[in-house]
A and B are shown apart, each in its own frame.
Chain A
Amino acid sequence: MNHSNHVVSTAITPESIADSSLVATDAVADYALGLGDDALVLAHRLGEWITNAPELEEDVALGNIGLDLLGHARSLLTYAGSAWAKSEDDLAYFRDEREFRSHQLFEQPNGDFAATIARQLIASTYFVGLYRALSSSTDATLAAIAAKAVKEVDYHLDHSVQWLQRLGLGTEYSHQRMQAGFDAMWPYVDELFREDSFAAAAGRAAVDPRTLRAAFDATVPRLVAEAGLEVPAVPPARGGGRSGVHAEAFGPMLAELQVLARAHPGAQW
């Protein structure tokens, strides 16, 4: 402790978790890893829209939403890594595809803007329910991360709902594309709410995803109907993201996410 001006942080952002004595139990770390992967993967997908969105304001909006999710991912991955002496970067950049635990919904290619809005509506509704419940976690760090995140994802949900209505109730063509967006994303809804062995092992520190389904079903179909659209009658995809089985598009996405860190290990910018 003889260094002058050294910075030690002991609470609950990535840097502070990393430098502190806050260490997750193995069970909590395993659970946090899945949540962190979900946030990281969706943040990356949203980042792909920057310079590609239909208007400049949407480059900024989707970029900002992605930035919030990246903040959640950093906190969650850092906390997960505390159990295994790994940093957020170790977990983000140096795990292979099968070691990721992300749900397949978040891995789906962006498709057109309407498909991204469909995915965002589903994702934001899921995150609002998840983080609201997780803010009562018996694990103080998870509870704090969730209590902060819930305010942010609530705002993201508003953004999706506004676009859902504009596109669903807009022209015949925008309506058609919004419906096609839901058709593409809906098979991946079911996986979000399945039994999760990591959540079960973490007990009351975690949220059992099955308990979030009722609130989702009470919200999203109503919003979809209000926008003049239909919940697609499609069978659920097989899923398996939490156990390392991923969407076909995930590998190439991960390669792009990791290539710089792997080509130049330890690089700083």
Chain B
Amino acid sequence: MDEKVIWDIAATVVDPEVPVLTIEDLGVLRRVTVEGDIVTVDITPTYSGCPAVDAMRDDIVSALSAAGYADVRVRQVLAPAWTTEWMSSEGRAKLEAFGIAPPLPRDAGGVVNVGLGIRCPHCGSLHTRQLSRFGSTSCKALYVCQRCQEPFDYFKAH
């Protein structure tokens, strides 16, 4: 069995909360290994309490099962801890097209950016303001655009 083929199938699974992103885009899919007939897929949760992980795990098993892989094991690994640095550039572009501002880089030593430079995914304005540091899921914060007045989600740099 080819690990690359299996990876590509697992990589079709999407985040149930942010269906525009695959688990590969998110950086949640970490590793595929094959030993005999046993397929092992390593994923890492985004946040400790994220309830989407269970759904992702079931979806990986279903996708691989449909492709004929009978013995699929999904391992969830906590270390190293997930970071938005692992999100692909395709993932960032898809998020923005979907109406969610992608995470800023975490290059400033982990300092949380407090709202400067988050671009509105609707009109592209940088004149935006944080409404709430927390949003509809663990990974998002709520913003509003001062130019087009539309509220939007920002995928927090983590």
Contact = CB atoms under 8 A, between A and B. Distances in A.
A104 interface: no
- Interface size class of chain B, counting residues whose CB lies under 8 Å from the partner chain: 35 or more
Interface in A56-98: 57, 60-61, 63-65, 67-72, 74-75
A70 B49 contact: yes
B48 A75 contact: yes
B70 A57 contact: no
Given A5-B70, A60-B132, A158-B133, A11 B77 contact: yes
B134 A143 contact: no
Interface string B45-64: 10111100110011001000
A9 B76 contact: yes
A204 interface: no
B78 A159 contact: no
Contact of B48 (A6, A9, A61, A152): A152
B141 to A, nearest CB: 10
Interface stretch (A12-20, A177-185, A212-220): A12-20
Interface of B: 42, 45, 47-50, 53-54, 57-58, 61, 65, 70-83, 110, 112, 131-136, 138, 142, 156, 158
Interface of A: 1, 4-13, 15-16, 57, 60-61, 63-65, 67-72, 74-75, 140, 143-145, 147-149, 151-152, 154-155, 158-159, 162
